[in-house]
Amino acid sequence: MTAALRNPKIWIFGICLLPLLRLIVLGGSGGLGANPIEFITHSTGTWILVGLMVTLSVTPLRRLTGRAELIRYRRMLGLFTFFYACLHFITYVWLDQFFDPAAIAKDIIKRPFITVGFSAFVLLVPLAATSTHAMMRRLGRHWQSLHRLIYLVAILGVIHYGWLVKKDLTQPLIYGAVLALLLAMRMTWGVMLLQLARSRFVPARS
């Protein structure tokens, strides 16, 4: 038991469940405000973006701190992001549109922000499906190329948010800035690695 509590995975799992727990508690106590469906949609949307940013910061953090074991928590963070994306999508399909296929199809085609959000969700599905060790082994080198789709998903996610707000772009811009930083760090390292390879140095840490 105490050994289990010392495992950070347990703690991360618990923390990742807090946003859902909050919605359940607020829902049970009538705390979701005048427009509960909007509240749930916005809340799950927020946590998807946060999840994407946290998942994408694992690699930079690992490189900055030199702590290779951080990579062990990345899959769980990614899967929780997918979990909240599913909740977000279900909220839209079920609570918002009430399974009206015509209205949903029209929305996806006609509303750019929904087109973009829906695309991001669809792109997340193969990433979640190939997250197991078995799939990693089977895909080999291709696994990493496939999972680079997460960069596109995050960009689409921020565009989705920016496109739906009526006027105040502050929040989408904050997510955009964080994402730009996380992606820029990767580019810098990429360039550095390339230069190192060219000068036949072997990088000390991978």
Partner 1 sequence: MLIRQPDGILPSDITPPEIYRERRRFMQGMGALAAGAVLGVAPEAQAGAKLAGVHASAYNLDEEKTPFKDVTTYNNFYEFGTGKADPAENAGSLKTRPWTVAVEGEVGNPRIYDIETLLKLAPLEERVYRLRCVEGWSMVIPWVGFPLREIIRRAAPTGNARYVEFVTLNDPRQMPGQRSRVLDWPYVEGLRMDEAMHPLTLLTVGLYGEVLPNQNGAPIRLVVPWKYGFKSAKSIVKIRFVEKQPLTAWMAAAPDEYGFYSNVNPQVDHPRWSQAKERRIGEFFKRDTLMFNGYGPQVAQMYRGMDLKKYF
- Which residues are near partner 1 by CB under 8 A? 33-35, 37-38, 95-96, 98, 103, 106-107, 110-113, 163-164, 166-168, 170
Phi first, then psi, for residue 200 (nearest 5°) are: 60, 25
28 versus 33: smaller Cβ distance to partner 1: 33
70 versus 93: smaller Cβ distance to partner 1: 93
104 versus 123: smaller Cβ distance to partner 1: 104
**Minimum distance from residue 69 beta carbon to partner 1 (Å):** 40
- Kind and range of the H or E run holding 190: helix 170-198
Q: DSSP assignment of 116-177, as one string?
A: HHHHHHHHHHHHHHT-SHHHHHHHTHHHHHHHTHHHHHHHHHHHHHHHHSSS--HHHHHHHH
37 versus 180: smaller Cβ distance to partner 1: 37
**Minimum distance from residue 187 beta carbon to partner 1 (Å):** 32
Question: What is the rounded CA–CA span in Å between residue 28 and residue 188?
Answer: 47
**Minimum distance from residue 177 beta carbon to partner 1 (Å):** 17
Q: Where are the alpha helices (DSSP H) in 2-73?
A: 2-5, 8-28, 36-65
**Cα dihedral sign, 7-124-133-61:** negative
109 versus 135: smaller Cβ distance to partner 1: 109
Residue 24 one-letter amino acid: I
**Minimum distance from residue 41 beta carbon to partner 1 (Å):** 11
**Minimum distance from residue 33 beta carbon to partner 1 (Å):** 6
